[in-house]
Amino acid sequence: MSLPSKFCRKSPLELFNDPTKPYINVCAPMVRYSKLPFRELVRGYNVDLAYTPMILAKEFKNSSVARDFDFSTSPTDSPLIIQFASNSPVELAKAAELVFGYVDGIDLNCGCPQKWALNEGIGAHLMDKPELVKDMIRTIKGSGVNLPFSIKIRIHNDMRKTLSFTKNAESVGVDFIAIHGRTRRQKSTSPIDLDTIRLCKESLQIPVIANGNVFSLEDANILCENTKVDGVMAARGILKNPALFAGYESTPWECVDRFIKLSLGLGTTHYIFHHHLMYMFEDFMSNAERKTFNTLTSIPAIVDYLGEHYGLQVG
């Protein structure tokens, strides 16, 4: 892992008690995409809390190579939640021990709907394993990892089943819950279930974060107004426009420029660098430009292209 010396961290729980904010702005855990350069970027655009990508606890625990690839942080990357995918209380606790002092909270992924995750018994598969989830919460809360622990879930078709799941998690000490308002079988174009999110918020004593269909600051405000949640989380929307929580309707050039410089300074892969920029330029590039941009096979080629066509200056 690319870690600095241990440093002073900020508790995510303090964010929920800020009387000056109606809700907190959250950058979602996104496989591959919510790595350090992107987190540093969005923190400059009113993001209060950021998550790492989903990380497999077993591989993280067993492999230094996996740790180096999956996780890095910095003194300004706080408050930070690391999200693990696991179905083993022991493996989850051991993975959490490795990052103690470098993150501000641990999250258990109970929402990934991808087929491979379901086959592995992780992600949204855990929505049908409430007792196992309770065991994992108990194990973390009873360990020496004295950090806030959260879960990120998807909903069931039956509102009562979702409520029971969240109440069970609350009963064994989970500190807050993020709710994606779709079932694991629903597509990203489906509307989110505001009623279930609202019911959970009304019924729980812990903070609740809502996730789904947030592509603008107005979307975030409406989601909070309709559910009365404590936080609003963006995923696809913040990939396309990292400045959305700052009220920008589309990605400003300064945001693109800063992302490039952060990525070059902190390190990234061509794949991640390229895809982030493809999302940010989605509304600006013509089809012909996009086809050309998609053929660029190295970071230097991308930087040269943006310098020639958009005036990017690096160095």
Q: Give residues with Cβ within 8 angstroms of 98, minimum separation 6.
A: 1, 60, 61, 67
CA separation for the pair 23, 278 (Å, rounded): 30
The verdict on whether residue 275 carries a ligand-binding annotation is: no
Alpha-carbon distance 56 to 158, whole Å?
29
- Is 180 annotated as a binding-site member? yes
**What is the rounded CA–CA span in Å between residue 205 and residue 233?**
19
The annotation status of 31 as a binding-site residue, yes or no, is yes
Q: Which of 27, 110, 112, 200 is catalytic?
A: 112
What letter represents residue 216's amino acid? S
In CATH terms, is domain 12-246 a member of 1.10.10.10? no
Q: How many residues does the chain have?
A: 315
Of 58, 57, 48, 45, residue with least CA distance to 21: 48
Strands (E) in the chain, as ranges, are 24-27, 49-56, 80-85, 105-110, 149-154, 176-180, 208-211, 231-234
| DSSP H or E stretch at residue 273 | helix 270-280
Residue boundaries of the structural domains of the chain: 12-246, 253-310
Digitized pLDDT (tens) for each residue of the chain, 315 residues in all: 555 545 556 889 999 999 899 999 999 999 889 999 999 999 999 999 999 999 999 999 999 998 988 999 999 999 999 999 999 999 999 999 999 999 999 999 999 999 999 999 999 999 999 999 999 999 999 998 999 999 999 999 999 999 999 999 999 999 999 999 999 999 988 999 999 999 999 999 999 999 999 999 999 999 999 999 999 999 999 999 999 999 999 999 999 999 999 999 999 999 999 999 999 999 889 999 999 999 999 999 999 999 999 988 886
Sign, CA dihedral 57-62-66-72, equals positive
DSSP codes joined into one string, 85-105: E-S-HHHHHHHHHHHTTT-SE
* 200 in catalytic set: no
169 marked among binding-site residues: no
